[in-house]
């Protein structure tokens, strides 16, 4: 979602840059076109609070773009003056700085160890004779239990996506997602 907000701010900057060089009539027409595009981008946001802030930002940039065109302001002034208050007032805003896919190790429940011990014991019992047969049965059961436990842990492992976010206040937050993040 932060990627969309960044894209919107980039569009706002581009719209202000393009509008600054145009005549008053062209300025109004281009500003209206950009404003309609910005509103459409804002409408895609599912979060009502962010959507309304986006609409307010788009409206402010539109109004600044068409106001006072006889004295052309620097192209960067609308986004800079508008985005600073919005950024400062948002305690949960930030930029995605990293996405890492991590394999989360599974935990054994004991069933793998039990199954492995039975299979290992049966296989160990097939070899040797007398007390050697007993030793091989015990060794097979122990080895099978260990192998079964490891196989179960591997089978229960899952993938997790750690998303690191650089918050606007400078702090880093990491969120673990159970599925791949949707990048738009």
Q: What is the DSSP string of 76-134?
A: THHHHHHHHHHHHH-TT-EEEEEEEEEEEPP---SHHHHHHHHHHHHHHHTS--THHHH
Name the strands in the sheet holding 158-167, side by side, starting at the edge strand that comes first in the sequence.
94-104, 158-167, 172-177
Structural contact between residues 94 and 2, judged by C-beta atoms closer than 8 angstroms = yes
Token pair for residue 153? 């842990």
Q: Is 106 exposed, middle or buried (0-12, 13-18, 19+ CB in 10 A)?
A: middle
pLDDT per residue as tens, the chain (184 positions): 555 555 544 544 455 455 444 456 777 788 788 888 888 888 888 888 888 888 888 888 888 777 754 343 434 334 443 444 444 557 788 888 899 888 888 888 888 889 988 998 899 888 878 888 888 889 988 999 999 988 988 888 888 888 999 888 888 899 888 888 877 5
pTM of the model: 0.38
What per-residue confidence (pLDDT) applies to 143?
92
CA atoms within 13 A on the CB side of 52: 3
Closest to 16 in 3D by CA, of 1, 31, 4, 29 = 31
CA atoms of 140 and 42, how far apart (whole Å): 64
pLDDT value for 108: 80
Phi, psi of 72 (to 5 degrees): -70, 125
Beta bridge mates, 176 = 162
């Amino acid at each position: 979602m932060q990627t969309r907000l960044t894209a919107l701010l980039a569009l706002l900057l581009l719209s202000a840059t393009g509008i600054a060089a145009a005549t008053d009539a062209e300025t109004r027409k281009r500003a209206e076109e950009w404003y309609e595009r910005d509103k459409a981008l804002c409408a895609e946001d599912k979060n009502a609070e962010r959507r309304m802030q986006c609409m307010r930002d788009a409206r402010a940039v539109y109004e600044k773009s068409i106001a006072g065109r006889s004295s052309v302001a620097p192209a960067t002034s609308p986004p800079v003056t508008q985005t600073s208050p919005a950024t400062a007032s948002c305690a949960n805003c930030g930029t995605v700085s990293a996405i890492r896919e991590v394999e989360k190790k599974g935990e054994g429940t004991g069933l793998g160890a039990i199954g492995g011990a039975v299979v290992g014991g049966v296989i160990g019992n097939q070899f040797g004779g007398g007390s050697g047969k007993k030793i091989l049965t015990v060794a097979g059961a122990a080895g099978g239990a260990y192998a079964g436990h490891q196989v179960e842990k591997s089978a229960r492992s899952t993938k997790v996506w750690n998303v690191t976010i650089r918050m606007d206040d400078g702090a880093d937050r990491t969120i673990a997602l159970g599925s791949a993040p949707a990048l738009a």
